[in-house]
């Protein structure tokens, strides 16, 4: 994947392309980490890379459930907070596989919707934008925003863990040759 999102030809493709670009940034931040490293919280926020992956799975599934008009789960505040941690029973690889599946579902559901302006009902809560609901388009833009925010968090956390930066991590994850511009990341020995 290029360092910037690929060119797009239409709105739906553009939104999904930018969402996938941000998902890839999160995956790149996790590249080469052990499960123990993925659970580390080296910044004052208390966030970990593994926790960010599990939270993004949680968020993307919940929003696409709403788009599909599935009955909302009865998630508690504690479950929401727990979504920011990689459980001891799960590996980073397993979380990343869940993230791939959540993304594939989003892409399939959105690809099958004829009108991005279709209404998505929302429950009454002060943090939702409108008591009448939002649109599929808004959900996609929100997922891009949330994923990009957490991709930035993941970049900072990764740099705090071992000094790795997003460009070299992407180059390593994608097997780029060393060309003088970007040197692929390698674990320190």
H or E element at residue 77: helix 77-82
- Sign, Cα dihedral of 20, 160, 37, 184: positive
- The more confidently predicted of residues 100 and 6 is 100
pLDDT, residue 128, reads 79
C-beta separation of 52 from 37 below 8 A: no
pLDDT, residue 109, reads 98
pLDDT band at 170 (very low <50, low <70, confident <90, very high): very high
- Please list the residues that pair with 2 across neighbouring strands: none
pLDDT, residue 110, reads 97
- Sign, Cα dihedral of 144, 148, 149, 154: positive
Residues with Cβ < 8 Å from 8, sequence gap 6 or more?
A: 14, 17, 18
Predicted confidence (pLDDT) at residue 124 exceeds the cutoff of 80: no
pLDDT, residue 1, reads 60
Predicted confidence (pLDDT) at residue 179 exceeds the cutoff of 90: no
Distance between first and last Cα of the chain: 28
C-alpha distances out from residue 71 to 22, 62, 65, 109, 153, Å: 28, 10, 8, 16, 31
How many residues are there in the chain? 189
- The more confidently predicted of residues 57 and 131 is 57
Question: pLDDT tens, 80-111?
Answer: 899 999 999 999 999 999 999 999 999 999 99
Spatial CA neighbour of 57 closest among 13, 87, 18, 14:
87
> What average pLDDT score do residues 28-52 get?
97
- The more confidently predicted of residues 131 and 108 is 108
Total-model pTM:
0.93
For the chain, the average pLDDT equals 92
pLDDT, residue 130, reads 80
C-beta separation of 171 from 182 below 8 A: yes
Q: Which domains does the chain have, with CATH numbers?
A: 11-173 (1.20.120.450)
Question: pLDDT tens, 12-39?
Answer: 999 999 999 999 999 999 999 999 999 9
């Amino acid at each position: 994947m290029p360092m910037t999102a690929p060119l797009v030809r239409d709105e739906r493709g553009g939104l999904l392309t930018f969402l996938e670009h941000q998902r890839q940034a999160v995956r790149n931040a996790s590249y080469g980490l052990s499960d123990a490293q993925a659970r580390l919280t080296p910044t004052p926020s208390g966030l970990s890379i593994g926790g960010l992956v599990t939270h993004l799975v949680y968020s993307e599934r919940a929003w696409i459930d709403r788009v599909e008009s599935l009955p909302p789960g009865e998630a508690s505040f504690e479950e929401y907070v727990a979504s920011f941690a990689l459980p001891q029973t799960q590996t980073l690889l397993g979380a990343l596989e869940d993230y791939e599946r959540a993304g594939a579902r989003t892409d399939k559901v959105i690809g099958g919707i004829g009108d991005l302006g279709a209404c998505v009902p929302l429950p009454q809560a002060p943090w939702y934008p409108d008591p009448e609901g939002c649109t599929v388009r808004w959900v996609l833009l929100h997922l891009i925003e949330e994923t990009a925010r957490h991709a930035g968090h993941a970049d900072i956390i990764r740099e705090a863990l071992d000094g790795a930066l997003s460009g070299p991590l992407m180059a390593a994850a994608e097997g780029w040759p060393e060309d003088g511009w970007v040197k692929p990341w390698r674990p320190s020995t």
